[in-house]
A and B are shown apart, each in its own frame.
Chain A
């Protein structure tokens, strides 16, 4: 199973490889629209994932964060962002759990039919992200909160937890997410 991190590393390597300069032995030629129209690529990407976030606890252990079996500490990840200079922080707090999916697909697809007649009018390529039909959530939880400081260990820390969400089990998520450029560049 491939995690998000590994995919990212692979993509990084890809980017590095793609842009190795100085080896241009052959001259690159421009393909016109017609020639490009005859090029057929391979199927795309099929991805299965299993992502765990702080299932047992994060890497930081101090007066606030700790292992999940320690009830006096919080073990979830924390993500804080600020909407005003010198203002308070919006926080996604105590993010933890595990989610897994099989069969997320990614490919480029040409649409020229269907969609109640829109396909013919559209006639263009889209990036298609095939949703995995079901995503298994294993005690995924997080909190939405607002806080006076970015870190709970900062002086003067005060936080209001607005609400928390907990999810377990199979979530039905079917369909294709189609992404394409709109407007005039």
Chain B
């Protein structure tokens, strides 16, 4: 939601800038029409490495939700997501009771306070970058990036709300007595209605959240003539809690607490980018193609380098050992109510092939 708002503001600026440029160009062109604009090919464009746009939100606070109806059944605020159908054909609608982004110490969204997002010396970035620098050869790549990871000597522990400098790779700082910090509390409280059943309330809160090192890179694939991308989502929080309450929100069930939560999700890489498309029946398709098979005889029967084509063997060795292609999930302690289930780790997940397709269940 915050993202959409930010985009609205950004689009406003961009629109104005574009109007200005178009205005200036319209004016300039008829009189001075000497030079002709020439098309740049991918190779030329990939050499372009302009200054990107840095974005920082200062003192940011966001909140929207749905109010409890008054005596006349009127609601001042409504925030609804609908149009979804359950597998058995019943209509699903989600009433968002509260969605917030706040400074730390919000007590699950009760006391909202401002927070900074991004650092002036390491901001959120929108940039066109040279694909050669990360293996997308001869392409200009549009990149949306969260603050980059830094050297551990200058950084902060990602999952500690009291981290000090030199404790980890995250750039965003936790709140201190003197400074509001760059790690927001984020929460979503919602009521899910399936058919006439309005019993499911789900509340998710993340304390002191960090998304440093996340990015979305987009470019075009010449052979498939399609938009492709690479997506990395890092999400760290010292405490992620999920719990269900009754409709009034007063009686809550057991709280599921995920302590020291760290998700590093990599979807698509330079060898296997993600493809986005809509098929002929109007369904959205997300695809990660399988890595190509080696030619027959390129890899020896014993699988060793000596008996294989060295270049091919090295290619697969690097593909299977590169930690950047892997996704990780680490939970320091998994607790339900007052029971501790200990820590959990899923590390080194590699997406070999992915094909997600939405399907219309409506008749």
**Residues of chain A having any CB pair with chain B under 8 Å:** 4, 7-8, 11-16, 18-21, 82-90, 111, 115-116, 118-119, 121-122, 126-127, 129, 131, 143, 145-148, 158-185
Q: Does B52 contact A (CB under 8 A)?
A: yes
Mostly, the B contact residues are mixed
Q: Can you spell out 5 A-B residue pairs with CB atoms less than 8 angstroms apart? A: A12-B23, A88-B277, A145-B282, A169-B64, A176-B59
Partner of B120, one of A8, A122, A163: A122
Q: How large is the interface on B (under 10, 10 to 19, 20 to 34, 35 or more residues)?
A: 35 or more
Partner of A175, one of B26, B60, B279: B60
**Residues of chain B having any CB pair with chain A under 8 Å:** 5-6, 9-10, 12-13, 15-16, 19-24, 26-28, 31-32, 49-64, 67, 75-84, 112, 114, 116, 119-121, 123, 125, 127, 173, 176, 178-179, 181, 224-227, 275-284, 358-360
* A148 and B281 within 8 A (CB): yes
Interface centre among A4, A15, A121, A148 (most CB of B within 10 A): A15
Within the complex, the shortest CB–CB distance from A174 to chain B, in Å, comes to 4
Contacts of B59 in A (CB 8 A): 174-176
- Bound: A161/B361 CA distance, A: 10
* A18 and B24 within 8 A (CB): yes
User: Which residue in chain A gives the minimum CB-CB distance to B116?
Assistant: A115
Mostly, the A contact residues are strand
Within the complex, the shortest CB–CB distance from B84 to chain A, in Å, comes to 5
* B57 and A178 within 8 A (CB): yes
Contacts of B284 in A (CB 8 A): 90, 146, 160, 162
Contacts of B81 in A (CB 8 A): 163-166
Partner of B282, one of A84, A111, A146, A175: A146
Contacts of B80 in A (CB 8 A): 165-167
- Bound: A183/B275 CA distance, A: 28
* A160 and B358 within 8 A (CB): yes
The answer to whether A175 and B58 touch (CB under 8 A), given A84-B277, A148-B278, A183-B127, is yes
- Bound: A11/B363 CA distance, A: 49
Contacts of A161 in B (CB 8 A): 83
User: Which residue in chain A gives the minimum CB-CB distance to B23?
Assistant: A15
Contacts of B12 in A (CB 8 A): 4
The answer to whether A19 and B63 touch (CB under 8 A), given A85-B225, A175-B57, is no
Partner of B280, one of A7, A21, A148, A171: A148
* A176 and B57 within 8 A (CB): yes
* B20 and A184 within 8 A (CB): no
* B278 and A89 within 8 A (CB): yes
- Bound: A168/B283 CA distance, A: 29
Interface centre among B10, B125, B224, B279 (most CB of A within 10 A): B279
* B282 and A160 within 8 A (CB): yes
Contacts of A111 in B (CB 8 A): 120
Contacts of B114 in A (CB 8 A): 174-175
Nearest first, the 10 closest Cβ-Cβ pairs linking A and B are A88-B278, A15-B23, A169-B77, A175-B60, A85-B225, A182-B54, A84-B226, A164-B83, A122-B120, A116-B179
Contacts of B176 in A (CB 8 A): 116
Contacts of A163 in B (CB 8 A): 81-84
Contacts of B52 in A (CB 8 A): 181-183
Contacts of B120 in A (CB 8 A): 111, 115, 118-119, 121-122, 126, 178, 180
- Bound: A84/B222 CA distance, A: 10
Within the complex, the shortest CB–CB distance from B147 to chain A, in Å, comes to 11
* B282 and A159 within 8 A (CB): yes
Interface centre among A89, A111, A168 (most CB of B within 10 A): A168
* A21 and B281 within 8 A (CB): no
